[in-house]
Amino acid sequence: MPCWVLTDYHHVRTVLSDRRFSADVRQPGFPFLSPGRRELVGEQPSFLRLDDPEHQRLRRMMTGDFLVKRIEQLRPRIQRIVDEALDAMIAKGQPADLVADFAFPVPSLVICELLGVPYDDHEYFQELSRRLLDSTAGPGAVAEALDALTDYMAQLAASKKGEPDGIVARLATRDDLTPEEVASNSVLLLLAGHETTANMTSLSVLALLQNPDQLARLRAEPELTRGAVEELLRYLTIVHNGLPRTALEDVEFDDGLQIRAGEGVLVMLGAANRDEELFGDGDRLDIGRDARRHLAFGFGVHQCLGQPLARVELQIALATLLRRLPELRLAIPFEDVRFRTSALIYGLHELPVAW
């Protein structure tokens, strides 16, 4: 289907923060990247794909769980999870696959604990989420994976109703949510909570290994970790396929660009994050630059709910990995690294490393 592809930083920010652009998948003209993507929505869209006031009503039920203050309290627990994953990877011996042995287990375990999802089921839900996020998967395959994941979550939620701990139990216990709303929004948190940070972690390690000067600087100055994580978020921009929106009214931008009511728009975060005025020499990874105005977490009302959690996980994972494995290196030639080019969230299939 025809749609606009916006790459300019100011256009991208305007679309994401202007109520005249809708994130509701049910709008006619909503741009889907493929027939499979249309199926990803399911019958009950999560708040990611709804507009206010429905979006706000649901999002508000979870904002407290992801506030910076709340997530900061989890630092010791996340540090322990990171250390244990590293202990296990080291004990298994080298070469190891950093994706399967470190990057996925850490955020998966963290989000499972927050939601109250049994981590023992991780192979099942990780496989389903891989299928769901593959942009080349056909509509049948996506619908099947979404149904399976939604059923899994609905059963879990039903069994947790009335229990005191975990986000799923809390949502299931509310009487202003339907079981379908509980399942669909819990699936969103489970998917968004592990796929993103996992892929950011492995890509960040690869980017640092490919930029030895930046890696050496970060090892020498670990106090740069927070800024380095922001720069890696900008440089890698793993939500790389364009955020979809539909214009509800005719819109004219400051520079004269006109988008008509009903037209679909894809906003490209990766292009905006290489805006030359804001991030000069944007193709260069520079952990010392001020990258805070990047749009890797989106912008406006749908800006990533989990960003405080993603930041803390990435800061702890990278700092701990560099500290504990000073000789970390790729175990295969860079040319043989396999990228998840066809996934909605960019990443690596595997990252063989030695130390």
Query: What is the C-alpha to C-alpha distance for residues 286 and 211, in angstroms, rounded to an integer?
Result: 9
Amino acid at 52: D
Residue nearest to ligand HEM (CB): 306
Query: What is the C-alpha to C-alpha distance for residues 327 and 312, in angstroms, rounded to an integer?
Result: 24
Beta carbon nearer to ligand HEM, 144 or 315: 315
Beta carbon nearer to ligand HEM, 79 or 95: 79
Query: What is the C-alpha to C-alpha distance for residues 53 and 182, in angstroms, rounded to an integer?
Result: 17
Query: What is the C-alpha to C-alpha distance for residues 17 and 302, in angstroms, rounded to an integer?
Result: 9
| Rounded least distance, CB 126 to ligand HEM, Å | 15
Query: What is the C-alpha to C-alpha distance for residues 192 and 235, in angstroms, rounded to an integer?
Result: 20
Report residue 6 as tokens.
């916006």
Which of 163, 158, 162, 217 lies closest to 186 in space, CA to CA?
A: 158
Q: Pseudo-torsion of CA 254, 260, 263, 265, nearest 10°?
A: 0
Interface residue list for ligand HEM (CB under 6 A): 23, 47-48, 59, 188-189, 192-193, 196-197, 200, 238-239, 243, 296-298, 302, 304-306, 309-310
| Rounded least distance, CB 140 to ligand HEM, Å | 25
Beta carbon nearer to ligand HEM, 137 or 239: 239
Query: What is the C-alpha to C-alpha distance for residues 115 and 157, in angstroms, rounded to an integer?
Result: 10
| Rounded least distance, CB 333 to ligand HEM, Å | 27
Phi, psi angles (nearest 5°) of residue 320: -70, -40
| Rounded least distance, CB 48 to ligand HEM, Å | 4
Beta carbon nearer to ligand HEM, 91 or 195: 195
Strand partners, 28: none
Phi, psi angles (nearest 5°) of residue 340: -85, 65
SS3 337: coil
| Rounded least distance, CB 189 to ligand HEM, Å | 5
Beta carbon nearer to ligand HEM, 196 or 320: 196
Strand partners, 343: 134
Beta carbon nearer to ligand HEM, 135 or 355: 135
Beta carbon nearer to ligand HEM, 160 or 234: 234
Q: Pseudo-torsion of CA 134, 135, 138, 141, nearest 10°?
A: 20
| Rounded least distance, CB 41 to ligand HEM, Å | 12
| Rounded least distance, CB 2 to ligand HEM, Å | 20
Query: What is the C-alpha to C-alpha distance for residues 296 and 196, in angstroms, rounded to an integer?
Result: 11
Which of 188, 223, 251, 186 lies closest to 322 in space, CA to CA?
A: 223
| Rounded least distance, CB 305 to ligand HEM, Å | 4
Beta carbon nearer to ligand HEM, 95 or 204: 204
Q: Number of C-alpha atoms within 13 angstroms, CB side, residue 93?
A: 0
Beta carbon nearer to ligand HEM, 108 or 138: 108
Q: To the nearest 5 percent, what fractions of the chain are helix, strand and coil?
A: 55, 10, 35
| Rounded least distance, CB 199 to ligand HEM, Å | 8
Beta carbon nearer to ligand HEM, 8 or 24: 24
| Rounded least distance, CB 354 to ligand HEM, Å | 26
